[in-house]
């Protein structure tokens, strides 16, 4: 939203503007990292995303090659997964978005035989290593502007942590909070990174159309829409 004023000056417009939401695969893991940034300083992240076929605009009828298969390449997705979070965590300087310098992120992205729901395996290291309890508490207590303003499409509880060792699962958990929540599970220590965990979100609801509606609701509350 803060860049809209500069955009209007550049385009010479007074009422119209272009507002975009983040990539659908980022919705699965970036919200889980965000509440940990301030107090613990996320320094390095390795993420592997397992992305549903609806992210390619496909159904099983129209993507027969995915049946009994995993495709280890989604064009441009890995580059976006590594760079776009730094834009989200950046700041506005004049008429430019300046990307954050940390954390370092490396990613691999796979297309998997799932109808809806992007899953991410996340490995993270910190400047100040938290305890597992601190991480779970940060997830459970996190409330963003959408929750504070009680926007109509906002999930009441944005981040849900599951204690069960086999959760989250797309089939069971993608519709949590009307498909607008992010599910987290399997938090444990790692031998190369500080911790590893699993995340999942609905890619066409939270990640696409629903996220767009939520952004529009926020823009309306902030006075950008008549």
Supply the CATH number for residue 91's domain: 3.30.360.10
The token duo for 39 is 């107090």
Please give the pLDDT value at position 226. 76
CA-to-CA dists, residue 76 to 25, 79, 106, 170, 180, angstroms? 12, 6, 13, 23, 25
- Domain contains 194: yes
Residue 225 within a domain: no
d(CA 118, CA 52): 6
Nearest Cα to Cα of residue 195 among 140, 145, 139, 126: 126
**Domain contains 128:** yes
User: What are the residues facing 182 on neighbouring strands?
Assistant: 159, 201
Average pLDDT over all residues of the chain: 96
pLDDT at 193: 98
Q: Which domain holds residue 190?
A: 4-219
Residues of the chain with pLDDT under 50: none
Task: For residue 219, count other CB atoms closer than 10 A to its CB.
Answer: 15
The total number of structural domains in the chain stands at 1
Query: Is 202 a known active-site residue?
Result: no
Q: Decide if 226 is inside a domain.
A: no
224: in domain: no
Strand partners, 160: 183
DSSP 222: T
SS3 195: strand
Task: Give the pLDDT of residue 14.
Answer: 86
What's the confidence (pLDDT) of residue 68? 98
- Confidence (pLDDT) at 127: 98
**What is the token pair recorded at 184?**
């987290």
Q: Contact at 8 Å (CB) between 125 and 44?
A: yes
Q: Which of 34, 91, 109, 118 is catalytic?
A: 118
Q: Is 38 inside any structural domain?
A: yes
Has residue 42 been placed in a domain?
A: yes
| pLDDT for 225 | 87
Residue 24 annotated to the active site: yes
Indicate the pTM of the whole model.
Answer: 0.95
């Amino acid at each position: 939203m803060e860049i809209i004023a500069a955009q209007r000056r550049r385009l010479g417009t007074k009422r119209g503007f272009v507002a975009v939401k983040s990539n659908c695969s980022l919705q699965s893991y970036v919200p889980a990292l965000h509440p940990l940034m301030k107090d613990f300083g996320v320094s390095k992240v390795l993420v592997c995303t397992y992305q549903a076929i609806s992210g390619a605009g496909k159904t099983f009828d129209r993507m027969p090659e995915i049946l009994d298969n995993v495709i280890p390449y989604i064009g441009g997705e890995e580059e976006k997964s590594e760079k776009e979070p730094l834009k989200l965590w950046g700041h506005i300087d004049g008429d430019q978005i300046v990307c954050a310098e940390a954390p370092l992120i490396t990613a691999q992205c796979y297309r998997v035989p799932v109808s809806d729901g992007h899953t991410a395996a996340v490995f993270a290291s910190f400047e100040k290593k938290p305890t597992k309890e601190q991480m779970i508490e940060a997830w459970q207590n996190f409330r963003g502007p959408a929750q504070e303003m009680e926007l109509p499409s906002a999930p009441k509880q944005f981040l849900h942590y599951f204690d069960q060792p086999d959760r989250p699962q797309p089939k069971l958990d993608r519709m949590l909070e009307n498909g607008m929540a992010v599910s987290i599970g399997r938090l444990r220590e790692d031998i190369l990174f500080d911790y590893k965990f699993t995340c999942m979100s609905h890619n066409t609801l939270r990640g696409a159309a629903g996220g767009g509606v939520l952004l529009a609701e926020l823009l309306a509350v902030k006075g950008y829409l008549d």
